[in-house]
Amino acid sequence: MSDAELEALRSQIDDVNFKLLEMLNIRAALVDEIRKIKEARGIEKFDPKREAEMLNALVRANHGPLPHHVIKQIFRMIFRSSLYFMEQQAKDARLITRHGAERTVIDIDGTRIGNGAVQMMAGPCCIESHEQLDTIAKALSALGVKILRGGAFKPRTSPYAFQGLGVPGLKILRDITRAYGMLGITEVMDARQLDAVVEHADILQIGTRNMSNFDLLKAVGGAGKPVMLKRGFMSTLEEFELAAEYIMVEGNHQVILCERGIRTFEKATRNTLDISAVPILKRETHLPIVVDISHSTGRKDIALPIAAAAIAAGADAIMVEVHAHPELARSDADQQLTIPEFTSLLRGLNLKPAVP
């Protein structure tokens, strides 16, 4: 065979490819047309019976040289491509989905999360006493921290471990945040605690273990206060996003997403911080993103590079545990920064106090 003959055959293949491309798009346009009609009439869009019939008819009409199983494979792929519009449309319609440059900025009494400045959410793992929280809040507010964290209801692995002060802890948080002009963020573990948490806190936290507690998500969706949703430690980003959707569907659009590490085989850190989650969530959603550098790593010697990485990846806020005497803390003693350690973290990050 001459080179010219080979070239001629190749150019025929090219023609066929372009024809196939055209036919595939004609087919896709028809599929979309049908989808719109079905939608208008409220008919179920997915029709597996019709697909099976079409596949059988195609196999019967096939006279080779491609064998039946290859034809089936190709057409299954083509049929699956019909789902593209449906999936895309469903994703676009989600409340969390970002459209263009849209960004949600949470503004609580002038303190903003998601406006481009990095906020710090700092404070102890759990509220232990008025004095304990007062000492920490005083130091943090002097350093320009606006958002004070501290658990009153603590999700503990062991039922014998300190479970938090409960409602008295919430009152301490409220008193101290008001005294220092700060905002309080604390976890709500159960819908039965919701009214009390709403009364005393400015931001409601949903912990990693409750990310898939859909009734709780619905409940905070109706709570009328900003919610920080932590990623489940075994959850994919898709599951995380849909959990946030649960809150938003109920009418609460003040949602903040928090990456706090996922479980992997790695033991050098308590969890594995999924840093890629930050730019992905920022690309796919319009919600502010927080990175919890304490629960993700479980250690404080790498606090600075981890916080710097989170900010470089686009985090809107950093959550970090700070305690005046971590060695005496009733939970997470190893990972809580002392006040001087927190001060040098701020200095290392070159963070000016966040613009209110």
Choose the contact partner of 296 out of Mn ion, ligand PEP, none; CB within 5 to 8 A by kind. none
Which of 246, 197, 244, 245 lies closest to 225, judged by CA?
Answer: 197
CB of 203 to ligand PEP, least distance (A): 12
x-or-dash string of contact with ligand PEP, 261-300, rule CB under 6 A? -------------------------------x--x-----
Q: Does 330 bind ligand PEP (CB under 6 A)?
A: no
Q: Which residues pair with 255 in a beta bridge?
A: 227
Q: Which residue number, 155 or 314, has a Cβ lying nearer to ligand PEP?
A: 155
CB of 186 to ligand PEP, least distance (A): 8
Q: Which residue number, 31 or 275, has a Cβ lying nearer to ligand PEP?
A: 275
Q: Residue 143 carries which DSSP code?
A: T
Q: Which residue number, 149 or 282, has a Cβ lying nearer to Mn ion?
A: 149
- Cα–Cα distance for residue pair 262/270, rounded to 1 Å: 9
Q: Does 155 bind ligand PEP (CB under 6 A)?
A: yes
Q: Does 259 bind Mn ion (CB under 5 A)?
A: no
Q: Does 125 bind Mn ion (CB under 5 A)?
A: yes
CB of 277 to Mn ion, least distance (A): 20
CB of 332 to Mn ion, least distance (A): 4
CB of 337 to Mn ion, least distance (A): 12
Closest residue to ligand PEP: CB criterion: 207
CB of 223 to ligand PEP, least distance (A): 18
Tell me the DSSP string of 220-280. Answer: HHTS-S-EEEEPPTT--HHHHHHHHHHHHHTT---EEEEE--B--S--SSSSB--TTHHHH
x-or-dash string of contact with ligand PEP, 163-192, rule CB under 6 A? ------------------------x-----
Q: Which residue number, 106 or 127, has a Cβ lying nearer to ligand PEP?
A: 127
The CB-based long-range contact list for 28-37 (8 Å cut-off, 24+ gap) reads 28/81, 28/82, 28/84, 28/85, 31/82, 31/85, 32/85, 35/85, 35/86
How far, CA to CA in Å, does 241 sit from each of 23, 65, 69, 97, 314?
36, 46, 38, 9, 17
The pair phi, psi for residue 204, each rounded to 5°, is -90, 130
* Of positions 200, 230, 270, 300, contacts ligand PEP by CB under 6 A: 230
* Of positions 106, 332, 346, 354, contacts Mn ion by CB under 5 A: 332
Preceding omega of 356 cis (within 30 degrees of 0): no
Spacing of C-alpha 216 from chain mean position: 17
- Binding positions for Mn ion, rule: CB under 5 A: 125, 332
